[in-house]
């Protein structure tokens, strides 16, 4: 991703701790193919890009669960842009089924059928927190697109460096991104 400074130094102790915590928390789900050198390089790259400089200002508990009737595990998180308004719509996908996640849904901690809108962009940290709240996963491509959209709408340039204030922590990305 172009809009985040890449630091090619060794991992800091905080980054190593984050990597170990991620691997420990996911050891039951990790297969041999996941631990390929390419996957390890991706994790290291994510950690180096975000490091431990991010502020986790929006510390929403990862233990929050949606209503049992709305089990969103297994869904992936993405977004679309409305051609008419330019507003984004955040969507949870699973096997062709789509659930729209609105600001009211996040406030209510359950998917609501309402007409509240996100506007023309959303901070990457909020997008990541939505994944945390509803136990969703997103792809690196989706994360890169939300960062590029935010940078373009907020600063007028797709390649602007996004301040750490608006970015999720490396640990949160590691927990919410499909790797």
Q: What are phi and psi of 70, to 5 degrees?
A: -120, 50
> In this structure, is residue 119 part of a structural domain?
yes
Count up the domains in the chain and report the number: 1
Q: Give 110's pLDDT tier (boundaries 50, 70, 90).
A: confident
Q: Give 152's pLDDT tier (boundaries 50, 70, 90).
A: very high
Per-residue pLDDT at 42 = 64
The answer on pLDDT for 92 being more than 50 is: yes
> In this structure, is residue 4 part of a structural domain?
no
> In this structure, is residue 3 part of a structural domain?
no
> In this structure, is residue 38 part of a structural domain?
yes
> In this structure, is residue 63 part of a structural domain?
yes
> In this structure, is residue 1 part of a structural domain?
no
Task: Give me the domain span that covers residue 156.
Answer: 13-176
> In this structure, is residue 26 part of a structural domain?
yes
d(CA 73, CA 23): 20
d(CA 160, CA 2): 8
pTM above 0.85, yes or no: no
């Amino acid at each position: 991703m172009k809009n985040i400074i890449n630091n090619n130094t060794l991992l800091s102790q905080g980054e190593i701790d984050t990597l170990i915590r991620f691997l420990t928390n996911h050891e039951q789900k990790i297969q041999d193919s996941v631990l390929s050198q390419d996957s390890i390089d991706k994790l290291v790259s994510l950690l180096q890009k975000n490091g431990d400089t991010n502020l986790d200002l929006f510390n929403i508990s990862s233990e929050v669960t949606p209503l049992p009737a709305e089990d969103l595990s297994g869904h992936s998180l993405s977004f679309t842009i409305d051609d008419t308004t330019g507003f984004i719509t955040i969507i949870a996908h699973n096997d062709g089924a789509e659930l729209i996640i609105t600001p009211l849904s996040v406030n209510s901690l359950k998917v609501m059928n309402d007409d509240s809108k996100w506007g023309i962009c959303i901070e990457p940290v909020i997008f990541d927190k939505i994944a945390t709240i509803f136990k969703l996963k997103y792809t690196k491509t989706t994360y890169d697109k939300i960062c590029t959209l935010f940078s373009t709408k907020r600063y007028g340039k797709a390649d602007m460096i996004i301040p750490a204030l608006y970015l999720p922590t490396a640990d949160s990305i590691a927990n919410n991104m499909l790797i």
